[in-house]
Amino acid sequence: MRALILSDIHANLEALNAVLEAAAGTYDVLWNLGDVVGYGASPNEVIEIIRPLAQLNVRGNHDRVCCGLASALGFNPIARAAANWTHDEMTEENRQWLAGVPKGPIHPEGVPGIVLAHGSPLNEDQYILTMRDAWAPLQQTGIEITFIGHTHLQGGFCQREEQWHELRPRYETRNDAESWILPLPERTRHLINPGSVGQPRDHDWRAAFAIYDSEASEIVFHRVPYDLTTAQGRILMAELPEKLALRLREGR
């Protein structure tokens, strides 16, 4: 079984299209880890692509706010402005679909040892940024592989007995499509972040995703370039905060 893992698309249509084109024919199921909308200027278009394609969806914090399930008051002013714009821009049908996306963690049926979450599997709003953050989820859940998003940082953490490691893919460029393979040894627990499709924050502007291959016991991390200029132009034309367009080029 090969699963395409996407997270934090954030209404970036150009990045999503580039990812789906790059991944075409290489996966059996698509799992979406949340934050389909927010920040970007194409919420309806992105939802209408993801809805029929994803076998499993987990809600993100921006999804929760943008569809009206939670207040935007906890967001910074830029995120709040984007969330309010997104709420008004979405169709009623798409708002209702987003409101029905379940909270993580989710256990894919028929796939033992796998969990899907947006933030920590212990708290959907918690960011797992450091080994200290990863310690409790790795110790308490007992799950072999937990796929998470939320941080927009591709990589993760693993633990085997007394050994702990932080995982960061290593790439050669910042311009071309590249991949990096992570073998999955037995008796090892992993927290894996596929990275953000639509707004990476690891100083690499390229769209990020991952493919989990259960038969090969590996995860392949990917980065692909996309039509950045058009994505930025959509944000500016929508009169969203200019910083949301500028940060796409910076990858942060």
Q: In what order do the strands lie in the sheet with 178-183?
A: 56-57, 29-32, 2-6, 207-213, 218-224, 178-183
Predicted local distance difference test score (pLDDT) of residue 160: 85
d(CA 185, CA 121): 22
For residue 212, what are the β-bridge partners? 3, 219
Write the DSSP symbol of residue 123: B
Helix axes 13-23, 43-53, angle to 10 degrees: 30
Instruction: Give the CATH class of 2-250.
Output: alpha beta
Average confidence score pLDDT of the chain: 95
Q: Is the pLDDT of residue 179 over 90?
A: yes
The first and second tokens of residue 4, run together, are 């395409």
State the pLDDT confidence band at 37, using cuts at 50, 70 and 90: very high
Q: Are 68 and 126 in contact (CB under 8 A)?
A: no
Counting residues of the chain whose pLDDT is more than 70, the rounded percentage is 100
Instruction: Name the pLDDT band for 112 (thresholds 50, 70, 90).
Output: confident
Region of poorest pLDDT, from 18-32, 135-149, 223-237: 135-149
